[in-house]
C-alpha cells in the first residue's frame, strides 16, 4: 500500500499537481515507516535511515500532519493574495469559507481597509483557475453608525458576485475571534492578521496603492494545513 501511494504521488508530481502529490508522498512514507517499525529493521537511531543518514522527509510535514508556514516580515513586499493563495486554487475548488471578525471597515481618503480587502480576495477567486460557486463569510457587525455602511457594502459585493454565478452567504457573530479561510479541496489557511496584513499606502498615487504585490505588509504568519492531516474536534 505504501509503494502504491508513493507511485501515485510520483504520477501527481509529473502532472504538476504538487499539493496533492505532497499529501500522497507523506501517506506513502508513513505507511512504509510503519512496516519498518513492525519488522524491527530500522538499523539506526530514531529519525535516521539504516546508513545513519537523516530520513528525507518534506520539511513541512511534522508528525504525519501537513503544516506549511510562511513568515511575512515587517515591510516585506510580494505577498499579494494571488501569491499567498494561488497554489491552493485548484480546479476542483468550488466552495470557500472565510471567518474574519473585522470584514467591516470602509474606505476613507487613502486607506484600503477590511471590506475592500475582502473584495480583492473575491476578485482573486473570480479570476482564478478554480470554479467557485459559493463563498461563506462569517464576521462581526461594525460598531455604531458604520453598521449600515458595512451591510450595504457587503450586499453590493454579494450582488456583484451573483453576476459571476457566485453566491455569497453572509453571517454575523458577536463572539468570533479566530481568522481562518477554508477551501473544499481540503486546504485551510490561517493568517495571524486575517486578510488585513497590508499597510496603509502612502497616498492614492503611491506605488503599491493598486498592486498589492508592491504594498508593504505588517509582520504576520501564514499557516497552511490540509484537513486530511488536521485533528477533527
| Rounded distance between C-alpha atoms, residue 105 and residue 144, angstroms | 12
What's the pLDDT at 191?
96
Mean pLDDT within 18-40:
70
Q: Where are the domains of the chain?
A: 1-38, 60-229
Question: pLDDT-based confidence at 84, cuts 50/70/90?
Answer: very high
Quote the pLDDT of residue 133. Answer: 97
How many residues are given for the chain?
A: 233
The pLDDT value recorded for residue 63 is 45
pTM (2 decimals)? 0.71
Tens-place pLDDT, residues 185-227: 999 999 999 999 999 888 889 999 999 999 999 999 999 998 7
Whether 10 shows a pLDDT value over 90: the answer reads no
Report how far apart, in Å, the C-alpha atoms of 178 and of each of 134, 135, 139, 218, 226 are: 21, 18, 10, 18, 18
pLDDT tens digit string along 143-178?
777 788 889 999 999 999 999 999 999 999 989 888
pLDDT for 232 equals 45
**What homologous superfamily does CATH list for 60-229?**
MITD, C-terminal phospholipase D-like domain (3.30.870.30)
Fold of 1-38: Methane Monooxygenase Hydroxylase; Chain G, domain 1 (1.20.58)
Q: Which of 164, 165, 171, 157 is nearest to 97 (CA)?
A: 171
Residue 135 three-state SS? strand
Amino acid at each position: 500500500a505504501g509503494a502504491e501511494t508513493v507511485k501515485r504521488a510520483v504520477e501527481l508530481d509529473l502532472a504538476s499537481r504538487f499539493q496533492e502529490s505532497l499529501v500522497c508522498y507523506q501517506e506513502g512514507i508513513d505507511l512504509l515507516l510503519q512496516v519498518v517499525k513492525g519488522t524491527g529493521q530500522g538499523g539506526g537511531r530514531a529519525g535516521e535511515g539504516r546508513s545513519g543518514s537523516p530520513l528525507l522527509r518534506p520539511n513541512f510535514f511534522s508528525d504525519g500532519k501537513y503544516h506549511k508556514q510562511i513568515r511575512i516580515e515587517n515591510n516585506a513586499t510580494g505577498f499579494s493574495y494571488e501569491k499567498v493563495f494561488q497554489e491552493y486554487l485548484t480546479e476542483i475548488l468550488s466552495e470557500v469559507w472565510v471567518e474574519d471578525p473585522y470584514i467591516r471597515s470602509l474606505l476613507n481618503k487613502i486607506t484600503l481597509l477590511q471590506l475592500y480587502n475582502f473584495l480583492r480576495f473575491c476578485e482573486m477567486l473570480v479570476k482564478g483557475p478554480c470554479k467557485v460557486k459559493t463563498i461563506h463569510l462569517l464576521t462581526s457587525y461594525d460598531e455604531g453608525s458604520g453598521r449600515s455602511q458595512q451591510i450595504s457594502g457587503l450586499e453590493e459585493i454579494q450582488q456583484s458576485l451573483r453576476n459571476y454565478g457566485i453566491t455569497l452567504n453572509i453571517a454575523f457573530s458577536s463572539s468570533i475571534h479566530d481568522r481562518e479561510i477554508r477551501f473544499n479541496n481540503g486546504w485551510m489557511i490561517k493568517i495571524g492578521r486575517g486578510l488585513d496584513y497590508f499597510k496603509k499606502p502612502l497616498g492614492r498615487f503611491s506605488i503599491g496603492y493598486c498592486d498589492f504585490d508592491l504594498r508593504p505588509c505588517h509582520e504576520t504568519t501564514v499557516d497552511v494545513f490540509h484537513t486530511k492531516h488536521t485533528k477533527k474536534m
